[in-house]
Every structure is written in structure tokens, then in C-alpha cells.
Amino acid sequence: MADAIPSKKIKCPACKKPVAWANNPHRPFCSERCATVDLGNWADNKYSLEGDPIDEFSEHPSDD
């Protein structure tokens, strides 16, 4: 019988706790709580991407 390959461990992006990648329903997070905290940070504009701000209304053709 072959030995089981150990699961790769990564750090949770929210709390930095080591967490298994395989068979983790919340990956890359360690828990639903950390995933929800991260989503809230995006919603509160705590994260940003580099680049010039855009006017989202000027980028789309009018619906006329």
C-alpha cells in the first residue's frame, strides 16, 4: 500500500494560520469566518488595485 502524500499547507490570507489546501471547502482561507472577513474588506474598499481610477459610467455606451 502506498504512503499517503501529505497535503500542501498554505497560510490563510486573512489570519495567516497554516491550513491544508486539499479537502478544504474554504480554501484559500482556513474557515468561513476568514472568507467573510476578506469579502467585507473588499466591500469596504480596504483593498485596491494599482492604476488610474476610471469613471465607470464613461466606459460604457449609453442605453439610448
Measured CA to CA, the distance from residue 18 to residue 28 in angstroms comes to 10
Q: Which amino acid is at 11?
A: K
User: pLDDT tens digits, residue range 15-43?
Assistant: 999 999 999 999 999 999 999 999 999 99
16: amino acid identity, one letter = K
Domain spans in the chain, listed from the N-terminal domain onward: 9-42
Which pTM does this prediction carry?
Answer: 0.64
Residue 64: pLDDT band with limits 50, 70, 90: low
Classify residue 45 as left (phi > 0), alpha (psi -120 to 50) or beta: left
Q: What are phi and psi of 4, to 5 degrees?
A: -70, 140
